[in-house]
Amino acid sequence: MTQKVLLKLSHISKRYKTETALKDISMALHEGEILGFLGPSGAGKTTAIKIITGQLRQTTGEAKLLDTDSANIDASIYEKIGVVADNSGIYEKIPVWQNLSIFAKIWNVPKERITEVLQQVGLYEYRKKYAGKLSKGQMQRLVLARAVLHKPRILFLDEPTSGLDPATAVSIHRMLLDLKKDGMSIFLTTHNMEEAEKLCDNVALLFHGEIVEYGPPQEICLKYNRNKQYSVRLENQEQITFAQTSENITKIAELMQENRIQSIHSCEPTLEDVFLQVTGTSLQS
């Protein structure tokens, strides 16, 4: 069954006076899908989110969000989508619960939902604590809790785990996968390729405002797996990498027959390697 398209970008470009932020971007986000925009800082990821969510106007092209042209988006669209910007703030001088109860009032969400979301992000026990006293990771979870409070159909996340410790990042990943399971579509920007590989159904590699590669992470990686190699660890702890030649295949078969292999892995490139191959630049730059 074909999934419903919730977001469609057709030939979107954004030009500023002296630079071009986005060039001819086309892609679609389906229901229940996580789509990642992967690229280094300044690649145009945040600009893309701002255009889609109506915070910025594109120079050319068409963006359709939930069947509404982004040029005609008004405030009511935010009742159906959730936005977490790279620097989304919280009201630090009020408690965690009140931070959500005010937004619950805006979205007409029952109070029970606040409890549910706070439990989901692991902040229920901190509900009476002033938001400014939370750790950075807890603040980010509160921002996420606020964004999903009204059960949006699409969640836009701009670098949701940037600057967070690995444990918090993992808990956020878990949360995003749970949300996906509940049918929410997620548009995610990141420069963390592991995050993209782990979470995304499709990724768009963005470089200087252009999509240089698009598709499921694994397919992209396999597409660029041109020099097939296998990493073998022998019983004597020796680590050998074999290129895929008929001679090496025989060698590996022999080692297996002699039961000398402790572990064997194929060495397909990561998204980071693909990005480097395609653009000549690292994602972390």
Interface pick for another protein out of 18, 76, 246, 259 (rule CB under 8 A): 76
Query: Taking a C-beta distance cutoff of 8 angstroms, is the pair 167, 194 a contact?
Result: no
With respect to another protein, which residue has the nearer C-beta, 153 or 251?
153
Tell whether residue 252 is a contact of another protein (CB under 8 A).
no
Which one of 73-81, 119-127, 248-256, 269-277 is the stretch in contact with another protein (CB under 8 A)? 73-81
Which one of 4-12, 104-112, 133-141, 196-204 is the stretch in contact with another protein (CB under 8 A)? 104-112
Residue 105 C-beta: closest distance to another protein, Å: 4
Residue 107 C-beta: closest distance to another protein, Å: 7
With respect to another protein, which residue has the nearer C-beta, 46 or 279?
46
With respect to another protein, which residue has the nearer C-beta, 91 or 230?
91
The separation between the first and the last C-alpha atoms of the chain, rounded to the nearest angstrom, is 40
Tell whether residue 90 is a contact of another protein (CB under 8 A).
yes
Query: Taking a C-beta distance cutoff of 8 angstroms, is the pair 200, 188 a contact?
Result: yes
Tell whether residue 56 is a contact of another protein (CB under 8 A).
yes
Determine the Cα–Cα distance for residues 175 and 194; give it in Å rounded to an integer: 16
Interface pick for another protein out of 27, 77, 255, 261 (rule CB under 8 A): 77
For residue 57, what are its two tokens?
């106007």
Determine the Cα–Cα distance for residues 25 and 69; give it in Å rounded to an integer: 15
Determine the Cα–Cα distance for residues 196 and 215; give it in Å rounded to an integer: 12
For residue 226, what are its two tokens?
């041109």
With respect to another protein, which residue has the nearer C-beta, 88 or 115?
88
Contacts with another protein by CB under 8 A lie at: 50, 53, 55-56, 74-79, 83, 85, 87-94, 98, 102-103, 105-108, 143, 146
